[in-house]
Structure formats: C-alpha cells, structure tokens
Chain A
C-alpha cells in the first residue's frame, strides 16, 4: 500500500500542528530558567511521557525493529532491563538529589560536589558529544523521513538470484540512500518502471527486450559485480530530484522553530502529544499485524518454521557465544549495570526535564510513571520487528523492516496516522538534544567563563542564539554523515567511552561522602583514556580483543570498573572534602 493524498494531508497537518503547539506553549518565556527548565513548572505525567518518547530516537525507531527482525526479542532487554529497573532506582535515589540541589545541568552538580575542573571537563565533553551527536541524529531522522514518505530514489534490480541481489546492493553502496526494488519476473519490469519511476534499472544478462523509461537501463553479468562496477552504475543513474539534504533542512526548520521559541516547556509538551501518537500508532501495528497473521499461535509457528535464522527469536537471554551482538553477560554487566544507569541519571538529555519538575514529588513520580510506560515499548517496537519477519522474511535491509510492514498491512488513512507517529518519535529526540546541549553551553561555559553576572534575560537571549548555532552545526555535521555512514558508529563509540567513567563519579559521589574532587578528576580522565585504549586495541590488534562484533557494552563495563577503583583508591589517599560542602549532595546526608 502506497501513501495516499489523505495520508500526506494527515502528516502535514500533524507537523504544522506540532510546531504551532510548541510555539504557543512557549509564548511567555522571560528568563533563562523559563527557557532551560520551563520555570520549574513541569508536572510528573508530562515529564514521564517526554522521557519515554525522547528515548525513542530516529535511530532506535529504525534500528530496534530492524535488529528485532534479525535477532528477535533479545532487543527487549534494552527497555525491560535497560530502562525499567534503572528508572525506579533513579526515582528514589538520584533524581531527587539532583532536583533538591537546584542545578540546571549535571556538570553543574559535579562542580558543586567535587570541583570546577571536573565540571568544566565534563561540560566540554558533553557539549561536544551533544553537538556532534545532534548532527548524526538529524541525519538519521532525515533518512527515516525519506524512507517513510517514499522520497528515496529507486533502483530496480531484475534477477532471480538472491546472492546476486545482495552483491549488487553491496557493490553500489547505495542501500541507505536508494530504495532497491527486486524483480524476478521479467513481465513486471515495465509496470514497475511506470509506477515507481526508478533512477536506474539493472537487468541480468540473460534478458533482452524493449523498455520505455527515462532512466538508465543496463544489463550486467554476475561476474562483473565489484565496487568499481557499482560506483560506475550509480554514476549512470538519473540524478535524484529529492536529496537527503532537503529533508535535513525541513526537519531542522520544523524542530528548530518550536525549540528555539519555546525551550524545554515546548519540548516536553510537544513530547506528550508525540508520546500519545507514537505509542498509539505502534501498538495498533502490533495488534493489526498479529491479526493479519491469523493470531498469536500462527505468528509463533511462522517464526519457528523459519529454521535456524529465527530459532532464538523468542529468547530474551542469549548465550555468551551467541553470533548476535547481545550475549547475556554483556547485556547484564555493560547495559544493565553501566550504560543504562549512565543514560538515565548521567545524561543531561534525560535528567534535564526532571530538573524542571514543579516539586520533588513530581520529579520522582515522573521516573516511576516513565518506567511503567517503558514496559510497553518492546511491544510497540521489538515485537513488530518480529512480525515483519513473519510477514516478509526476504527484506534485504533490516532497517526497512518496520516501514515495509506498515506499508504492507495498513490501509490508506491509518498509514498517515502511523507515519505521523513515527515522525513524532523522530522529532522528540532531536528537540531534546538541541535543548540540553544549549543548556550546557550556556550555563557551564558561557555563564561560567564569559559572563558570570549575566541576568536571566541575558541567558534567555544567549540560550536562543546557542540553540540556533547548535542547529547550524548539526546541519553541518549531518552533511558529513551523509557521506560517511560510519560516523554514527563513531558518535556511539565516543559516547560509550565517556559514560562508564561519568557514571562512576556521579554514583560514587552521591553515595559515598569520602569521594574527593582530585580523585574524581583522575578517575574521569583515566577511565576515558582506558576506554579509548580498549577500543583502539580492539580495532588495531591482529585478533580483536573482544569476541563480539560491537564491544561497546564490555568497554563501558571495564572503564566503569577501573574508574570506580581509581576513585576509591585516590580518595582514600587525598584529604576529605569539608563536611559543610557535602550536605544535600550525598545520599541521606542533609
């Protein structure tokens, strides 16, 4: 099913409505506190919904369903282990501590608990990572925007051989920028050319016939498929009329408008709207997808009939030597004990909205409410990925599993609502990163080093300028991301290098009053250096150090362990911090 006029109408109305709603919410902005912390007026239910929808970014929406298509329900661990229990711990332990200290950023809290060196280093790392990561998120968002609205240029490949199809996609390197349409029945070629208007048609050599098309139509032989051949073919393709950069700019204008004017308050309340639409749309696909398969037992038996490729698709816990990147040891130690904690109470993106809560009770309740909503996310994102496998086991790019499923099963009208839901999730992650990055640069860099006596009105003005500047930088980085897709892996790697040591100094600092500023500084720097070394060794040694394809879970775990050990040892060998400084910053030490 293709998108119809009514679907495009719903999507356009939704996008414009979101922008106007965000601008309306933020119309009474007067100070930096209003802009960055919504004047500390946010209720628990709005924060809880905002937390959940912010966590589901563009990459997650594409990647979770795609990974579930390949690996199954093990991806549910990222919410059921990686969010729910950690949010409960955060609700009663970390979040009220941050809220009561009345800070605006996590680096500001680190400055109060330890010293200004720890604050500055932490702020600069987070500021750079956020600006860089925003570019990548924007790129991923635009990628998904193109995919959902069917804006990508198309390549038709006509061959009966599955391995040849895969070789063609690899050789052209255009799997992300172009949609590939595979045909094995030659009689359909003209029909597809007429319907889809492809930019390139590649046909295996056995075929000969007359076709009418404005696109390049090229016959090929299996033996000539190389990367040079692929590059030459793409050069012969008709240039696309719509590029990814157009989508990047459209998304930037839409998201930037309401974030720039409305600050955190607009971000949170548009997130509430987006949460309702996203969860509603995704759960509808879950039920409708299973219904179309004939019920739960039919769904399970179809997956089981797929043989070895899907034998673990209903296993939450996989063996240490699994071929997937999700062994239980890495999931439990790296995700459950380190990355999840670092994300939910060490990441400014998530914590900032609780700092804007109207009371301590609201801050706590938002995390508890969020944890309940988080239980639903694997049902809305992971299981539909498995349903996509049951519906169509031949999708070549797993990242397109969810979009393919909804286009296959949903009727016109509902398709528009669902795609609006998807766009909702995409926008929420970009607006949050934009706002939290601007907060760090304004509060921890501008106010601290440039203008310490800035008035609330000054901070509002500079906050908006920085938001605009970050958006421009993000568009700049996003351009690079279109050229180098591995830039996403780089941003994830940089984040994982920092999260273990960062969690160590926050958690130990909050739980142990003997932890000192000097020790925190040494712990942070050595932990980041150690994580960097592990990554470098893994990538450069003749035989990789870790025996999983993506070792970031183990790198996070070991850098966290080393940072904790260094923090404890150095603290015990340096003078303790004054008691008066620690009150209100250490758990149950008022």
Chain B
C-alpha cells in the first residue's frame, strides 16, 4: 500500500513539475498587475458587453410576446449592465 502511495506521489510530482514552471511564470505576471488595472479588466469586460448590446440588431432586442404586446429588452439589459459597472466602481 505504501509503495502505491509513493508511486502515485512521484507520478503526481513529475506531472506537477511539467506545469509548475509555466504556472509560476503566469502567476508572476498576474501578481505584477496592479489592483487598479485588475479592477479595470472587470469594468472593460462589462463595457464590451454594453457595446455589444447597443450594437445588436433591432429585431433581436424588440420582440412580440404571445399576448401581442411588444417588449423592448435593450433598455433593461443596459440598466442591468450599467448597475454592475457602478457597483464595481464603488467597491
């Protein structure tokens, strides 16, 4: 049983070492990113989605419900994303 455990640890260590070098380099890059820039990454992601929603064709965001009423979804989607941007700017 002990031999099996030792072998599996050795195998796991060998595989881990293959990834660890690359992983440590990437972790170093991430650590070097200032927190203000990290926050910017989140906000830019939301802004890209806002731009995408604005650019969606009208027929994909304005639809008729089964009861005949027309529903305009773009303003609600923009409200949702806009609120999130404000939250990430505050906290």
Contacts and interface: CB of A to CB of B under 8 A. Distances in A.
B25 interface: no
A81 B30 CA distance: 19
B12 A88 contact: no
A368 B73 contact: yes
B56 A368 contact: no
Interface in B7-46: 8-9, 11-13, 15-16, 19-20, 23, 27, 30-31, 33, 35, 38-39, 41-42, 45-46
A546 B46 CA distance: 28
B52 to A, nearest CB: 8
Contacts of B63: 359-361, 364-365
Contacts of A80: 84, 87-88
Q: Which of B8, B46, B76, B84 counts the most chain A CB atoms within 10 A?
A: B84
Given A85-B46, A92-B56, A317 B38 contact: yes
A538 B46 CA distance: 33
B13 to A, nearest CB: 5
A14 B12 CA distance: 52
Contacts of B31: 319-321
A91 B49 CA distance: 12
Interface string B61-91: 1011110000101001101110110011001
Given A81-B42, A92-B53, A540 B76 contact: no
B42 to A, nearest CB: 7
B79 to A, nearest CB: 7
Interface in A298-319: 314-317, 319
B19 A545 contact: yes
B76 A369 contact: yes
B6 to A, nearest CB: 11
Contact of B16 (A96, A329, A359, A537): A537
Contacts of A73: 91
A143 B84 CA distance: 33
A362 B84 contact: no
A538 B45 CA distance: 30
Contacts of A533: 15
Nearest to A534: B19
Nearest to A360: B63
Contact of A316 (B13, B27, B60, B91): B91
A316 B40 CA distance: 12
Contacts of B56: 92
A198 B51 CA distance: 60
A362 B12 contact: no
A332 to B, nearest CB: 6
Q: Which of A314, A536, A540 counts the most chain B CB atoms within 10 A?
A: A540
B81 A368 contact: no
Given A92-B61, A359-B66, A542 B84 contact: no
Nearest to A539: B12
Contacts of A85: 45-46, 49, 81, 84
A284 interface: no
Interface range, B side? 35 or more
Given A92-B56, A92-B60, A332-B42, A368 B76 contact: yes
A585 interface: no
A368 B16 contact: no
A180 B36 CA distance: 43
B39 A545 contact: no
A316 to B, nearest CB: 4
Contacts of A364: 63, 73
A537 B9 contact: no
A84 interface: yes
A537 B15 contact: yes
Contacts of B77: 88, 91-92, 368, 371
Interface string A367-385: 0110110010000000000
B49 A89 contact: yes
Contacts of A450: none
Contact of A365 (B11, B33, B71): B71
A76 interface: yes
Contacts of B45: 85, 332, 336
Q: Which of A87, A364, A365, A541 counts the most chain B CB atoms within 10 A?
A: A541
A540 B8 contact: yes
A329 B38 CA distance: 8
Given A365-B73, A536-B12, A541-B9, A372 B61 contact: no
Contacts of B13: 541-543
Interface in A65-93: 73, 76, 80-81, 84-85, 87-89, 91-92
A542 B9 contact: yes
A165 interface: no
Contacts of A541: 9, 12-13, 15-16
Nearest to A374: B80
B7 to A, nearest CB: 10
A359 B66 CA distance: 6
B23 A545 contact: yes
20 contacts: A81-B42, A87-B80, A88-B80, A91-B73, A316-B39, A316-B91, A317-B38, A317-B39, A317-B42, A328-B35, A328-B42, A336-B42, A361-B64, A372-B80, A537-B12, A539-B12, A541-B16, A542-B13, A543-B13, A545-B20
Given A81-B84, A319-B31, A320-B31, 12 more contacts: A88-B77, A92-B53, A328-B42, A336-B42, A359-B63, A359-B65, A362-B65, A365-B63, A368-B80, A537-B15, A541-B13, A545-B19
Interface of A: 44, 73, 76, 80-81, 84-85, 87-89, 91-92, 96, 314-317, 319-321, 328-329, 332, 336, 358-362, 364-365, 368-369, 371-372, 375, 533, 536-543, 545-547
Q: Can you list the 8 inter-chain pairs with the closest CB atoms, starting with the nearest?
A: A361-B63, A540-B12, A541-B16, A316-B91, A541-B12, A371-B80, A320-B30, A359-B66
